[in-house]
Structure 1
Amino acid sequence: MNHATTIRIELENLMIKNGYSMAQLARSTHLNPGTVSAILSGNRTLSMDELDRITSVMELPKGHFYERYFEEYLVDLKPNWTRISSILYHSVELDNLDLFEKVVTRFKDKINYASSLFEIAEDLFENGKMEGAALLYRAVAENEKNQYSERLAKCQYRIFLIKQGDNQQQNYQAASQFEPFAERLNELDQLDALKDLANTYRSLRRWYKVEEIVIKLKNKAHYQYHHKRDGKCINLEPLKSPKRPLFFYLAYSSLLMAGVFEARGDYTNALQCTYAYADLSWVKEDDEQTLHWKNLFREWAVANTYGNKLLSGDFEILPEYLDYIQNNEDEILPALVNIMEAANRFNQNVDPILHKFETELNRFISKTAVGMYTEYLIVEYMIYLFYEIADYYLNHNIYSKGYDFLVSCLEKSASTNNKSYIIMCVGLFESFRDKASSEIIAIYQRIIKGVRKNEKGNRFTLFGG
């Protein structure tokens, strides 16, 4: 007995159970009597909407017959695109990703469906259905893996964005896999792709990669901005534009490069880059979006100028810096990172500052979102901050507080697979192991055991494909 017969028998049983005539069944399902007759006789292919109506009248949950529908109309018979797209949307709506994947697998190798599957992937991506979108992007990418196509590059870009999360190892793998495809994108899409790649490498503190990407971003943004403004660019697609104003990518290149110099301890050049994105007088546009970003760059420049001066050893600006962050709550977390790093580097006493911001520190420990910063970025800043505070307290013989922050840093580093800071935490712990209580040692050993277990799991994942 095939599945078409089974669904029809279910419908016939409903008629018998409720004593429905054809007309009564049509009324209860809000279908035309002729449609019901054709379905029962097997002369009409059910649509997903009709199936949902019938399922509702049977008092069964929506999606109850989707597996049968797939096997009848998408496996046994030659389907049309309407039925394929319909079951994809219906299954993802119900979070039935197993069925969704079955449908994708069934048709992913059919080249004539690649464009349509990609369009659905884009729609799901825009509507936040990331798991379904990722399955489709991977299917289309696999289908076109031997082609040098923009669509393949767009699939890889979307997969990269979807994979971004709080696991640094996975973020790095996603960036490495996407990077070779970035310059296959449309010239303007490349700006956003390079910006996103640079942000990922910056969060991973892979500064040589940030610099490499920034050089490309700056050159491409310079070409697009000045040629477009002067009316010389012939390659720009009509109505095509990046997510942000073109000047943004030039200014952001300077901001990223300032971070590279800061990481190297070259605060002179970091300040020069900061001054570059602070002065945007060369930007001619004056629309609302442009003014919004110009104001943000000026605000970032103020905060980062304070930070770079402090990190270079200029503690005279510290009172002014503290006044600034008191009035700019979004900047408290990154500012405290700078203050603690500078205090440790130049052996300064900042106990009053730690006391002053004790409430904020407790809030960071509970991982409450702060202003414009995302949860992931907050965790990264907390890791940096907790390490610096732990280092500060331990070197000032305040062991209890030092170990509290060190344990918090190690836990958060382990949860995000931040290997650099895991290693740094281990080094700091071992330097003061003789001062640790048995309770702290037990907590430390538990966290390290979890790190080792996770590392073994990562190895199996990597070698197991």
Structure 2
Amino acid sequence: MVPIIATIRDALSGHLSQQKMTINQFAGQSGINSGTLSRLIHGQQPIAMNHLERITRAMNLPEDHFYSLYVEECFDHSPPTWRRLRPFLVRSAALGRLDCIEQVVQQLLEKLTYAPMLFEVAEGLFQEGQWQAAELLYKNVSESEKYQNSERLALCQYRLFRIALGDDQARNLQAAHIFECYLDRLDEADQLDGIKHLVNVYFSLHKWDKADKLAQDMLHLATLRCKLQRQSNRRQNDEKKTEKPLCFYIYYSHLMRASICEEHRDYSSALKFVNLYMDTSWIDNNDNEAKRTVVQFQEWGRANTLLYQVMSGKQEILTQYIEHISSQKDEIFVALSNILTSANRYSWNVDHVLEQFAAYIPYKTYATEFGGYNEQIITDQHTRFLIELAFYHLHNKRKEGINFILQSLESSARINNEGLIIKCVDLFEQFRHKADEDEKLHYKLLIREVQDSHEKKALYTPSFL
């Protein structure tokens, strides 16, 4: 008859009996004092996290083998203590035991006094990149404080917004809508970073008015904060710091507004914004990070001054622009994308450019010397690039354009961009006669996947989307 194991103590006692080991022998094997081990077995002392780890290791079991039982140990067999629960939550996160975290959190949040401590653990996990576990904690803390109107609640929502961002543009929009309601409750430093991420989301979704308004808000808040710092003539040591130097947010506002003008084909206005983010006359900060930021925007300004001339139809600038960006390897894909858009708009032949930069056409996440491109923006741009590439080849009577339509359609479906899906479908139907039977079948399967995906998403997509 197999013994019923109700507790870790039962398992340990059974192991000793089965192996015919004494407490002293197991103490030597586990590294736990024999007196302590005896008290643990007889329920006279709670099992600490380091005891659990040593017992599990000595029994030659997976580290998380007793984790479900340990939740009961922490609540049913002894009073809960944060000294035991905190390391248990951290290790559960590291081992992917979200079920154990959920069990602990549900019991702890019956008392609101644990909310600040759980939030602190969530912040640590967030910084370490363990976002799944952090998300679970943030959601539970938010739920417990939903009527508190606290900064901690706003921070939870900010972190949940960051965690939610991914390839699915509809879900990104939903996350942005939810987070915006909490933006004003954040500390100014978090507000600036929150606005920056919101600008990126709305820009990737082509919601230009919304992105422009937020960019202006970012400029206003960053400028005000800069003035206050100058007036105090010192850095506020107790002041929460932004992810980037303050000058970054001012320059980034101008950069994004220039990009929005670019999307509206208003290149003269875009160049005015370029001049603003290349202006260094007001910079008086000798901080190394600030210096790097100035160099970053100076480089982007020089490149974009040439780019906006190219995009306004000045083909004679194209060679100069290509020479400029050729040495900036992490900038080449973005430049190539803009060159191709211009080529399609003005019927230029850019075969030599596509051949020169063929290695930069497959999708990659581009991390520059000064930091990575926003992933949502670059994924959206690469999907659009594929359809521009398809049009370019088909316009030049090249059958390989069909393959690029299919690649763009697949990517459009993955990021859930209905506008791009429609463009791909429209272009494929225009040139269906050029597709072979395999390509037609691939297209049919992709359309079926899109339809199935939309039917599933319609079941839970909020009405405001």
Distance (Å, rounded) in 1 between the aligned partners of 2:26 and 2:418? 64
Matched residue type, 1:152: L
The CA deviation at 1:123 is: 0.6
| Alignment partner, residue 416 of structure 2 | 417
Aligned position for 2:347: 347
Confirm or deny that 1:49 pairs with 2:50. Answer: yes
Q: Does 1:69 align with 2:70?
A: yes
Give runs of aligned pairs for residues 395-410 of structure 1, distance below 5 A: 395-398=395-398, 400-410=399-409
Report the alpha carbon displacement of residue 77 of structure 1 after superposing the two structures with TM: 4.7
Q: Which residue identity does 1:58 align to in structure 2?
A: M
- Say if 1:222 and 1:250, in contact at 8 Å, map to a contact too: yes
Structure 2 residue 278 is the aligned partner of structure 1 residue 270: no
Post-superposition offset of 1:5: 6.4
1:369-408 → structure 2 map (5 Å cutoff): 369-372=365-368, 373=372, 377-398=377-398, 400-408=399-407
Note the alpha carbon deviations across 1:128-160, whole angstroms, 9 max, x for none: 111000000001111111122110110001011
On the 8 A contact 1:251/1:277 being kept in 2, the answer is yes
* 2:286 aligned with 1:286: yes
Shift of 1:323: 0.7
Match of 1:28 in 2: 29
Q: Is the 8 A contact 1:4 1:72 kept in 2?
A: no
SS of the aligned residue for 1:230 comes to helix
Matches within 5 A, 1:56-455: 56-75=57-76, 77-231=78-232, 238-361=238-361, 364=362, 367-372=363-368, 373=372, 377-398=377-398, 400-455=399-454
Question: In structure 2, what is the Cα distance between the partners aligned to 1:292 and 1:321?
Answer: 23
Counterpart residue identity of residue 52, structure 2: L
| Aligned-pair CA distance for 1:369 | 4.4
Which aligned pairs between 1:451-462 and structure 2 lie closer than 5 A? 451-462=450-461
Deviations along 1:210-233, one digit per CA (max 9) or x if unpaired, are 012112111101100112112189
Question: Per the alignment, in what secondary structure is the counterpart of residue 424 of structure 2?
Answer: helix
Unaligned ranges ≥5, structure 2: none
Q: Distance in 1 between matches of 2:159 and 2:379?
A: 24
Query: Residues 333 and 381 of structure 1 are in contact (CA less than 8 Å); yes or no, is this contact kept in structure 2?
Result: no
Which range moved further: 136-145 or 196-205? 196-205
Q: What is the Cα deviation at residue 203 of structure 1?
A: 1.6
CA distance in 2, matches of 1:282, 1:263: 29
Amino acid at match of 2:400: K
Q: Distance in 1 between matches of 2:13 and 2:242?
A: 56
Could you list the per-position Cα deviations for residues 365-413 of structure 1 after superposition, in whole angstroms to 9, with x for gaps in the alignment? Answer: xx34444255655433321221112122222332x12212211111111
Alignment RMSD: 2.3
Give the aligned residue type for 2:32: L
CA contact (8 A) 1:261 1:269 kept: yes
Q: Are residues 359 and 118 of structure 1, via their aligned partners in 2, closer, same or farther at CA, if it must alter by over 3 Å? A: closer
Render the CA deviation track for 1:144-191: whole Å, top value 9, x for unaligned. Answer: 111221101100010111111122122111111111111210012111
> Structure 1 residues 58 and 391, CA, compared in 2 at 3 Å: closer, same or farther?
same
Q: Report SS of the residue matched to 2:46.
A: coil
Judged with a 3 Å threshold, the aligned counterparts in structure 2 of structure 1 residues 18 and 360 are, in CA distance, closer, same or farther, namely: closer
Task: Give the Cα–Cα distance (whole angstroms) in 2 for the partners of residues 462 and 360 of structure 1.
Answer: 35
- Counterpart AA for 2:438: E
Moved more, 192-201 or 16-25: 16-25
Give the Cα separation in 2 of the matches to 1:75 and 1:138: 25
C-alpha separation in 1, matches of 2:376 and 2:97 = 28
Deviation of 1:96 after TM superposition, in Å, equals: 1.2
Between the aligned partners of 1:338 and 1:163, the Cα distance in structure 2 is 29
Normalising by structure 1, we get a TM-score of 0.92
Give 1:267 shift: 0.9
- Deviation per CA, 1:110-143, whole angstroms, max 9, x where unpaired? 2110000000000111111110000000011111
CA distance in structure 2 between the partners assigned to 1:164 and 1:226 by the alignment: 33
**How many residues in Structure 1 have an aligned counterpart in Structure 2?**
457
Q: Does the aligned pair in 2 maintain the 1:141–1:155 contact within 8 Å?
A: yes
Judging changes above 3 Å, is the alpha-carbon distance between structure 1 residues 316 and 5 closer, same or farther for their aligned structure 2 residues?
closer
Percent identical residues: 37
Could you tell me which amino acid in structure 2 is paired with residue 453 of structure 1? Answer: D
SS at match of 1:64: coil
CA distance in structure 1 between the aligned counterparts of 2:349 and 2:90, rounded to whole angstroms: 60
User: Normalising by structure 2, what TM-score?
Assistant: 0.92
Evaluate the alpha carbon distance shift between residue 169 and residue 233 of structure 1 in structure 2; reply closer, same or farther with a 3 A threshold. Answer: farther
Q: Residue 12 of structure 2 aligns with which residue?
A: 11
1:188 is paired with a residue of what secondary structure? Answer: helix
Q: Is the 8 A contact 1:108 1:114 kept in 2?
A: yes
The whole-number CA distance in structure 2 between the counterparts of 1:463 and 1:203 is: 20
CA distance in 2, matches of 1:143, 1:402: 54
Q: Is the 8 A contact 1:73 1:79 kept in 2?
A: yes
Q: How many Å separate the matches in 2 of 1:335 and 1:381?
A: 11
After TM superposition, what 4+ stretches of structure 1 lie above 6 angstroms from structure 2?
2-5
Give unpaired runs (5+ residues) of structure 1.
Answer: none
Deviates more, 1:240-249 or 1:368-377: 368-377
Q: 1:335 to 1:6 in 2, by over 3 A?
A: closer
